[in-house]
Amino acid sequence: MNEKKAVVLVSGGVDSTTCLAIARHEGYEVFALSFNYGQRHRAEIEAARRVVKALSVREHLILDLPLDAIGGSALTSTIEVPKDVPPDLMQNRIPVTYVPARNTVFLSFALAWAETLLAPDIFIGVNALDYSGYPDCRPEYIQSFEQTANLALKECVEGRMRIRIHTPLIEMTKAQIIKKGAELRVDFSMTHSCYDPDPFDRACGRCDSCILRKKGFREAGIADPTQYTQ
């Protein structure tokens, strides 16, 4: 079997898991990439291990990145994670859970691995529609990064490879993403979304990520398998 190879960024949340299922469905042999970057919700990594196993990838690489040495985010420092923000207000500000340059850092490691594997396709589950807060989730950013990537790599400059950043979820609402995942038989009970889980990794139910997850399942008309503490 000669499958096409792809590097897929997998955080273990609803979006990246659905993105991974799409890549598998499209026939890619998947090299999954996850990051331990000092995020307070390390439960992500365990979720990533579970979904990667369930979706039979070729290899799973988990890299330690010192983004917490830089800080600047509620996810990597002691800044408090906001709670109980209504979804319509989330649209109006970039939240403190924004991590400086996170997707640029993540995609740059994906590039390095893609070149080493000669795997020109990179999948990232960014989403600009239902959660437009993060600047590095927008189509104009992704297009620009792709252009930079093709100028950066030896294999591209010498004409043997062309990097393509796939963002299958970028124009979807959270409800549409959940429906798509369900259609591809994703078991969402394996995924983790909460930014601020309790010591037993149970979701808080009140951070932006939990609120959007709940809303997404509700709007999709699909039962949310998550056990929230609140």
* Closer to its own copies by Cβ: residue 54 or 117: 117
Determine contact, residues 109/35, Cβ cutoff 8 Å.
yes
- Maximum distance among all alpha carbons in the chain? 55
Instruction: State the minimum distance, in angstroms, from the CB of residue 2 to its own copies.
Output: 22
Instruction: State the minimum distance, in angstroms, from the CB of residue 171 to its own copies.
Output: 18
* Closer to its own copies by Cβ: residue 141 or 228: 141
- Binding residues (CB under 8 A) for its own copies: these are 61, 63-67, 69-72, 94, 98-105, 107-109, 111-113, 115-116, 135-136, 138, 140-141, 144-145, 147-149, 151-154, 156-158
* Closer to its own copies by Cβ: residue 109 or 228: 109
* Closer to its own copies by Cβ: residue 118 or 185: 118
Instruction: State the minimum distance, in angstroms, from the CB of residue 147 to its own copies.
Output: 6
CA separation for the pair 57, 70 (Å, rounded): 32
In SS3 terms, the chain reads as: CCCEEEEEECCCCHHHHHHHHHHHHCCEEEEEEEEECCCCCCHHHHHHHHHHHHCCCCEEEEEECCHHHCCCCCCCCCCCCCECCCHHHHCCCCCCCCCCCHHHHHHHHHHHHHHHHCCCEEECCCCCCCCCCCHHHCHHHHHHHHHHHHHHCHHHHCCCCCCEEECCCCCCCHHHHHHHHHHCCCCHHHCCCCCCCCCCCCECCCEHHHHHHHHHHHHHCCCCCCCECC
* Closer to its own copies by Cβ: residue 113 or 228: 113
* Closer to its own copies by Cβ: residue 33 or 220: 33
* Count of CB atoms situated within 10 Å of the CB of 56: 9
Instruction: State the minimum distance, in angstroms, from the CB of residue 61 to its own copies.
Output: 7
Instruction: State the minimum distance, in angstroms, from the CB of residue 11 to its own copies.
Output: 17
Instruction: State the minimum distance, in angstroms, from the CB of residue 186 to its own copies.
Output: 28
